[in-house]
Amino acid sequence: MTPRLDRWTVDLRQGRVRTRTLDDRPQEFPRVNEALVSRRHRYGYSAAAAERSLAYQAVDGTAPDGAFANALIKHDLLRGPSEVHRLPGGAAASEAVFVPSDPCDGRAAEDDGYAVAYVHDPDRGASDLVILAAQDFTGEPVARIHLPGRVPLGFHGSWIPDA
């Protein structure tokens, strides 16, 4: 089964669940602004996925890069279009975690912040931490931090502001 972006709406009164496909492109690791989890939100972020079944065939639990693809997707779940940030050929992106510009600003736009993702750089044999401005998603990264080794693409993360 190809991973796709679906919305599930749970009607507790009627005891029903409605499923609607929002985007049928292969993708994984959907995320939203953490402040809006389980609440109405406009934007979502996901990593393009090429051959998901490859991720489950790994003997050592490490998903091969072929299970992922070289793009991140920002979905506008209210108006419908999406933006794709393409990465260099051969690169493989994990999930994009949203980091707000100012977590204390309750009036900031929902996408006022950054999409942060680990990206495997096959030329270096290591990972980069790629930081995209969420409001300029298709633009050049704000930063690309070269890490000394590879971060497995199944590694999941969350942003917790310093309190």
- Tell me the HSE value of 91 on the side-chain side, using a 13 A CA sphere: 19
| Inside any domain, residue 162 | no
| Inside any domain, residue 4 | no
Given this model, what pLDDT does residue 158 score? Answer: 64
| Inside any domain, residue 11 | no
| Inside any domain, residue 142 | yes
| Amino acid code (one letter) for 66 | G
| Inside any domain, residue 151 | no
Given this model, what pLDDT does residue 52 score? Answer: 47
| Inside any domain, residue 133 | yes
CB 63 within 8 A of CB 49: no
SS3 at position 52: helix
Given this model, what pLDDT does residue 64 score? Answer: 53
| Inside any domain, residue 79 | yes
pTM (2 d.p.):
0.79
Q: Which residue has the higher pLDDT, 38 or 11?
A: 11
Q: Number of folded domains in the chain?
A: 1
Given this model, what pLDDT does residue 30 score? Answer: 83
Using left for φ > 0, alpha for ψ between -120 and 50, and beta otherwise, residue 125 falls in left
Q: Which residue has the higher pLDDT, 29 or 2?
A: 29
Check whether 1 has a pLDDT greater than 70: no
Work out the average pLDDT over 114-139: 93
Domain that holds residue 126: 19-146
CB 14 within 8 A of CB 84: no
Work out the average pLDDT over 32-48: 84
Q: Across 20-34, 118-132, 149-163, which has the greatest mean pLDDT?
A: 118-132
Burial class (CB in 10 A: 0-12, 13-18, 19+), 133: middle
Work out the average pLDDT over 59-86: 75
- Percent of the chain at pLDDT above 70? 80
φ, ψ for residue 156, nearest 5 deg:
-110, 150
Task: Work out whether strand 113-121 and strand 92-100 pair parallel, antiparallel, or are unpaired.
Answer: antiparallel
Given this model, what pLDDT does residue 35 score? Answer: 77
| Inside any domain, residue 136 | yes
